[in-house]
Chains A and B, each alone.
Chain A
Amino acid sequence: MEILNREPDVSVQIGPLVLPNPVGVASGTFGYGQEYQELLDIHRLGALYTKAVSLEPKAGNKPPRLVETPSGLINSIGLANPGLQVFLDEKIPYLQSLSCPVLVNVVGESESEYTTIVEAIEKRIGDYQEGEKSPVDGYELNLSCPNVDKGGMAFGTEPDLVERITRKVRRLTRRALVVKLSPNVTDIAQIALAAEAGKADAVSCINTVVGMAIDVKTCKPLIARGIGGLSGPAIRPIGVACVWKAARAVRIPVIGLGGITCADDALEYLLAGASAIQVGTAIFSNPRAPLEILDGIKAWMRERNIGTLGEIPALLRFPS
């Protein structure tokens, strides 16, 4: 078999945005980038999905917020973040210095909070000169966080609401618009279709799976809020199945995440129909994981003479 001499093309189109490669870092695991700048070359990432930005600052949930479970991590951070104003004033200048695409994860307690945040960011980006690198290349609407009482997942389980919020935000921006979906639904395909109907450029799935762990010595839940969101390799099969279902339902790209720790894990998602992936919990264990995964995907493509990422889903040997 002839081996391609050229590097495989690993770029991915998400609406108007071209990601240089398919490997992004998942919201909530990477802060706003700065925290990790000494540990990996952020500029090489396919995309940086920021920690969620809410309208007002959020202190987050009472600790303990974390517990490790078999192959997994339950967290109940509660969207702790400094709020829109601090994001605009203090995070945007750093994000502009990055050469990788930046998608801002947006969360609201009401529909209007989502639009207010996106509107304010659009207004601020307008201050940057034409030709200058934009500090924000798109948005990821968080309609799927399980760790808050209002907003988050409460919106993401109702197809009508998903479509309406997506449509409202769509009117405010021409940048890439991704809707992040929850696996805690009866049929994720229906939610993906709703996001597509609202004119999202892509959906990302999955957010964490609702989980709980109890200490049998103290008879108390191991995180203060009782239930939290499970991530890590434990949820990878759930994520792969959700991506497979969503990708069969919609025409827009599906971005896969959930338990990806190595290139093989990422390739499972790509074979299931994902156009791109995100790495989350694995970063805690190995901050270099995203770039190692990227190298592994490229090596796999070279070995199989695959020229573009778009050829991968068709390689799944399973009746569609």
Chain B
Amino acid sequence: MMRQFNAPVVFNQAVSQGWKLLAFLWPQDLAPPIPGQFFTFNPQGLQAGNAGLLRRPLAFAFYGRGLAFALYQIRGKATQALAAFAEGSSIDVIGPLGNSFPRPSAGEQALLAGGGIGIGPLLYLHSTFRDFKASEGATLAASPKASRLFLGFRSASQIPSFILAAERWEAQNRSVEGTGWYSEPYRQPVLAGLSDLQHSLDQALIATDDGSRGFKGTVVEALLQHPSRNVAGEAGVGIGAEAGAGAGPGVRGEAGAGAETAAARKRLYACGPAPMLSALDDLALHRGIPAHLSAEQWMACGVGACQGCVLPARAGGYLRACADGPIFPQGAILWKS
């Protein structure tokens, strides 16, 4: 079920250069969003005529303890308007919308790749794997040890720090008397959410285009070259791991007989700019790895009615990013049309 509701904004703070994290209260009687889903918000405060006509979609970056989180980059007028939403004000939300990332099967290793502001849904997916192991009551390959998060950024200045944001938020609110929203019962859920987000981020292999942090190159290159570079200790967790090494042999190139079984044990999840998704779609095809790619497109309705947000389908015709997606399986979309 989706719903339109006005939600109190409890957190709206900078987490890196030009990026902010939003948290709002989720209605108690509405099913929580799951990883891969998105919502649309109405950029109130913008008068029509100032690009304030259409709602804007945002992916969920985390959900926990009654709060929904979204990571966004201040890029245009609508995100500028969102950045100006004060904590304690109300945001007009429609959600949860769209499909979601399917769970990995037992025994599969989940490879998560996020690029730029597209890291949000991967952070959320990653956070659920910790619970996944517990709730399934079995040691699954999709537990955090076996899943692997690869996040790509332009440069180190873009990498969020949820812990610093939490510290700033605490300091800022301590100095302001009577800020109603910085109080129980919201303070602890916000801090816990930030802590969970940071926990996922801390486990990620970071790639930066300019090499200012972590692997120098794109997230796709990092995924291909891991673990031969940059990350020590864990054999066989990247796509490019040398065949035969460790518990999860990789599938580099024409790896021969072992490749098929190895490939069957990996599952790729990605969200990021179209060139990145295109490269990962090709890669997953060549390596025989199932992949789930989260697309971004301009939207008008967000609920499947207007046919505005379509992407060209490999099978012919078009698929709606909002209602057929935003998560598409490998091979579904012609990224380069």
- The residues of A with any CB-CB pair to B shorter than 8 Å are 28-31, 35-36, 38-39, 51, 59-60, 62-68, 70-73, 75, 77, 80, 232-234, 261, 281, 283-288
The 5 sampled A-B contact pairs (Cβ below 8 Å) are A29-B305, A35-B304, A39-B2, A68-B51, A234-B49
Q: Is the CB of A232 within 8 A of B48?
A: yes
* Complex Cα spacing A62 to B310, Å: 8
Interface residues of B, count at CB 8 A: 35
User: How far apart are A147's CB and chain B's nearest CB, in angstroms?
Assistant: 11
User: How far apart are A51's CB and chain B's nearest CB, in angstroms?
Assistant: 8
Q: Is the CB of A233 within 8 A of B53?
A: yes
Q: Mark B278-321, 1 if CB is under 8 A from A, else 0.
A: 00000000000000000001111111111111111000111000
Query: Given A60-B310, A62-B312, A71-B48, are A288 and B300 also a contact pair (CB < 8 Å)?
Result: no
With a cutoff of 8 Å between Cβ atoms, the chain A residues found around residue B145 in the complex are none
Q: Is the CB of B305 within 8 A of A30?
A: yes
User: How far apart are A281's CB and chain B's nearest CB, in angstroms?
Assistant: 7
User: How far apart are B185's CB and chain A's nearest CB, in angstroms?
Assistant: 28
Q: Is the CB of A39 within 8 A of B323?
A: no
With a cutoff of 8 Å between Cβ atoms, the chain A residues found around residue B54 in the complex are 68, 73, 284-285
Q: Does B168 belong to the interface (CB within 8 Å)?
A: no
**Can you name 17 extra interface pairs (CB under 8 A) apart from A28-B306, A31-B304, A232-B48?**
A35-B304, A35-B305, A35-B323, A36-B305, A38-B1, A51-B305, A51-B307, A60-B310, A63-B310, A65-B307, A66-B299, A71-B48, A72-B53, A73-B53, A233-B48, A285-B54, A285-B55
Q: Does B42 belong to the interface (CB within 8 Å)?
A: yes
With a cutoff of 8 Å between Cβ atoms, the chain A residues found around residue B308 in the complex are 65-66, 75, 77
Nearest B residue to A232, CB-CB: B53
User: How far apart are B27's CB and chain A's nearest CB, in angstroms?
Assistant: 13
Query: Given A71-B49, A261-B48, are A287 and B307 also a contact pair (CB < 8 Å)?
Result: no
Q: Mark B84-108, 1 if CB is under 8 A from A, else 0.
A: 0000000010100000000000000
Q: Is the CB of B306 within 8 A of A38?
A: no
Q: Is the CB of A77 within 8 A of B51?
A: no
Q: Does B4 belong to the interface (CB within 8 Å)?
A: yes
Q: Does B3 belong to the interface (CB within 8 Å)?
A: yes
* Complex Cα spacing A281 to B308, Å: 12
User: How far apart are B45's CB and chain A's nearest CB, in angstroms?
Assistant: 13
Which DSSP category, helix, strand, loop or mixed, fits chain A's interface?
Answer: loop
Q: Enumerate the 8 nearest inter-chain pairs by beta-carbon distance, A residue then B residue, closest first.
A: A31-B305, A35-B305, A59-B317, A66-B308, A71-B49, A80-B307, A284-B300, A35-B304
With a cutoff of 8 Å between Cβ atoms, the chain B residues found around residue A286 in the complex are 4, 42, 92
User: How far apart are B51's CB and chain A's nearest CB, in angstroms?
Assistant: 6
User: How far apart are B337's CB and chain A's nearest CB, in angstroms?
Assistant: 8
Nearest B residue to A288, CB-CB: B4
Query: Given A66-B308, A80-B310, are A39 and B94 also a contact pair (CB < 8 Å)?
Result: yes
User: How far apart are A64's CB and chain B's nearest CB, in angstroms?
Assistant: 6
Q: Is the CB of B316 within 8 A of A59?
A: yes
Select one of B4, B92, B305, B310 contacting A65, CB under 8 A.
Answer: B310
With a cutoff of 8 Å between Cβ atoms, the chain B residues found around residue A60 in the complex are 307, 310, 318
With a cutoff of 8 Å between Cβ atoms, the chain A residues found around residue B311 in the complex are 63
User: How far apart are A72's CB and chain B's nearest CB, in angstroms?
Assistant: 7
User: How far apart are B227's CB and chain A's nearest CB, in angstroms?
Assistant: 38
Q: Mark B32-43, 1 if CB is under 8 A from A, else 0.
A: 000000000010
Query: Given A35-B301, A80-B307, are A68 and B53 also a contact pair (CB < 8 Å)?
Result: yes
Beta-carbon contacts under 8 Å, B38-64 to A:
42, 48-51, 53-55
Q: Is the CB of B53 within 8 A of A39?
A: no
Q: Is the CB of B53 within 8 A of A285?
A: yes
Nearest B residue to A59, CB-CB: B317
User: How far apart are A213's CB and chain B's nearest CB, in angstroms?
Assistant: 12
Q: Is the CB of A284 within 8 A of B3?
A: no
With a cutoff of 8 Å between Cβ atoms, the chain A residues found around residue B301 in the complex are 29, 35, 283-284
User: How far apart are B229's CB and chain A's nearest CB, in angstroms?
Assistant: 36
Q: Is the CB of B42 within 8 A of A285?
A: yes
User: How far apart are A109's CB and chain B's nearest CB, in angstroms?
Assistant: 18
* Complex Cα spacing A64 to B323, Å: 17
User: How far apart are B33's CB and chain A's nearest CB, in angstroms?
Assistant: 15
Nearest A residue to B304, CB-CB: A35
Nearest A residue to B311, CB-CB: A63
With a cutoff of 8 Å between Cβ atoms, the chain A residues found around residue B42 in the complex are 285-286
Nearest B residue to A31, CB-CB: B305
With a cutoff of 8 Å between Cβ atoms, the chain A residues found around residue B309 in the complex are 63, 65-66
* Complex Cα spacing A63 to B92, Å: 28
With a cutoff of 8 Å between Cβ atoms, the chain B residues found around residue A288 in the complex are 4
With a cutoff of 8 Å between Cβ atoms, the chain A residues found around residue B4 in the complex are 39, 286-288
User: How far apart are A149's CB and chain B's nearest CB, in angstroms?
Assistant: 18
Nearest A residue to B301, CB-CB: A284
Query: Given A38-B2, A285-B55, are A29 and B306 also a contact pair (CB < 8 Å)?
Result: yes
